[in-house]
Chain A
Amino acid sequence: MAEISMSAGRFRRLGETDRPSVEIEVDGEQVVALEGDSLLVAVLASGRTLRRSEFGDGDRSGFCLMGACQDCWMWTAEGGRVRACTTPVRAGLRLITQAMSEDLWPIPA
């Protein structure tokens, strides 16, 4: 079974690593997280970013972590939207870092 990343991530785990692992999928790749992780932590600890800005200014990795800035939205393979900082990790979840259709969001001229 794959091991959790301790050092390669954007976020670093400083403790509480003695938790059962949980596997999710991000853009089709397997990510190993720990039970009790938020989705934000699960994805950032694996070294990935959360999402690509719809306004063409690059990748984002969240900002406020308290559900206020909405800069950690991710999409599920089923087409749903999740706020990664307030959503706990769940085994088998399939996440996508980019909105499936750019038409879903107003792009200013």
Chain B
Amino acid sequence: MIIVGAGPAGMRAAEALAAAGIRPTVIDEGQLSGGQIYRRQPVNFTRRYEALYGADAKKARALHKAFNALQGRIDYRPETLAWNLRDDVLHIVTDGVAAALRFDALILATGATDRLAPIAGWTLPGCYSLGGAQIALKAQACSIGARPLFLGTGPLLYLLAYQYLKAGAPPAAVLDTAPFAAQVKALPDLAVRPGFLARGLMFRARLRAAGILIENGVEPLAIEGEGKVAAVRYRTAGGTERRIACDAVGMGFHLRSETQLADLAGCPFLFDAATGQWRPDADRDGRTPRAGIYVAGDGARLLGADAAEAAGRLAALAALTDRGMEVDMAEVARLRRRMERLDRFRRGLATAFPWPARLACAVADEVIVCRCEAITAGNIREAAVGKDAPELNRAKALSRIGMGRCQGRFCSSAAAEILAEARNVPLAEVGRLRGQAPIKPLSMATVKGERP
């Protein structure tokens, strides 16, 4: 059995399999296990768990400890990329050496990245994803600038601003594209996790108390500067245009799942109208219709780190059940109940921090949508209308949108909106970019390994 990913889902899946006497192979692109939320700092850093993970310190410590304890009982392969999947064989590369691993069961715990919509100037040096800005702080003890501005929407927007404030880099402002009314409307769903909700309100209160401007319902207009970020221009909810000086920007609109391997495995995908995103079809335990393929964590559904731990265990127990092994059904029932509760919370987040579809459709022709190859919104509209591309993969062939080295990870959400708008069709109709191997760039110098 193979697990891809060593974040909360992958780590808990490995633990459950090892407890059943199976020695899973765990493929991790990271240098150290933990994934993004529970990312570990380099070994020569000395900050304590409380400084790194705040209120989640206990969870982080428990998770790291549980995974460390698996040493010798799992085949853990850090700094390893799973780049292709075909006919029940996973193709990996470690330090330039490739290998092919056959599997009976594969648990994909591939996580998520920030979901992005382009803003004029977002390719300027000094502009990062919110997740990237958090990694700078957590993994490298750096801020992205002396006066960073955070822009977008989602729970990370406020958490990150608070973390920067606490670390001694107070943000220039927090600009949320979601209207405040959306956050109020989501309260009943968010209240299923009172602790999380209370923390969110606390972040807001602390930021305000520190004199940091928080605006809701903004329309970002441009990130300005010459060779580096100098200011953000936006329109307030009331319609006034404003400009705030800053030397860095962290931006993002909640998350998108990493689903390329599920796609290459031939898993069918479902369209989720509430978020406008596609996700691999799976039952409540993470079983996909493709025998032997399971999905867990944010790579399957965006439920957050707590749910990822539960989902990782559930997927592992499902894989064991499917192999005729006995599992504790009471635990399965408990985990399923937990997942259901957290799914209500997910719906609350989607209401509170909606993806700004309108903003993405309205991006001006000259704005770069694809950071990799500088493909503009105008190029996509030309493919949509002038060259009659009915769906994303055709638009990709005609405009190169999504063809760059990130393979559409950071442009495809907005590209789909632009295409659907230009064609005047519902978003689901323009489809999604097909995953292509290698799912991340490989070096031409990659060689075939002697031993799997």
Q: Which of A's residues lie within 8 Å of B, judged by CB?
A: 7, 10-19, 35-38, 41, 44-45, 49, 53, 55-71, 73, 80-81, 85-86, 88, 108
Chain B residues at the A interface, C-beta cutoff of 8 Å? 29, 31, 36, 41-47, 113-114, 123-129, 131-133, 135-137, 139-146, 167-169, 227-228, 247-248, 258, 368, 371-374, 400, 404-406, 409-410, 440-441, 443, 445
Do A11 and B144 contact each other (CB < 8 Å), given the known contacts A49-B125, A66-B131, A67-B440?
yes
- Given A14-B169, A61-B125, A67-B29, 17 additional A-B pairs, CB 8 A: A10-B248, A11-B140, A13-B142, A35-B44, A36-B43, A38-B139, A49-B125, A49-B227, A55-B373, A58-B227, A59-B125, A64-B132, A70-B405, A71-B371, A81-B443, A88-B31, A108-B373
Q: How many A-B residue pairs have CB under 8 A?
A: 138
Interface centre among B136, B247, B409 (most CB of A within 10 A): B136
> Is B443 within 8 A of A12, CB to CB?
no
23 A-B pairs whose Cβ atoms sit less than 8 Å apart in the complex:
A11-B136, A12-B142, A15-B47, A16-B41, A16-B47, A36-B43, A55-B374, A56-B374, A57-B368, A58-B227, A62-B128, A64-B113, A64-B129, A64-B131, A64-B132, A64-B410, A65-B128, A65-B129, A65-B136, A70-B372, A70-B405, A71-B371, A108-B400
CB distance from A40 to the nearest CB of B (A): 8
Are B136 and A63 touching (Cβ within 8 A)? no
Bound CA span A13–B146, Å: 10
| A69 and B140 form a contact (CB under 8 A) | no
A63 touches B42 (CB 8 A): no
By the criterion CB–CB under 8 Å, are A68 and B44 in contact? no
Structural contact, B132 and A62, CB atoms closer than 8 A: yes
**Chain B hits for A62, CB < 8 A:** 128, 132
Contacts A13-B141, A65-B131, A70-B440: A60 and B125 contacting too (C-beta < 8 A)?
A: yes
Closest-CB distance, B159 to chain A (whole angstroms) = 16
Complex Cα–Cα for A45 and B248 (A): 13
Residue pair B406, A69 in contact (C-beta under 8 Å):
yes
Q: Which residues of B lie under 8 Å from residue A7 when comparing CB positions?
A: 146
A73–B405 Cα distance when bound, in Å, is 10
Given the complex of chains A and B, what is the CA–CA distance between A62 and B46 in angstroms? 26
Given the complex, which residues of A lie within 8 Å of B410, measured CB to CB?
63-64, 68-69
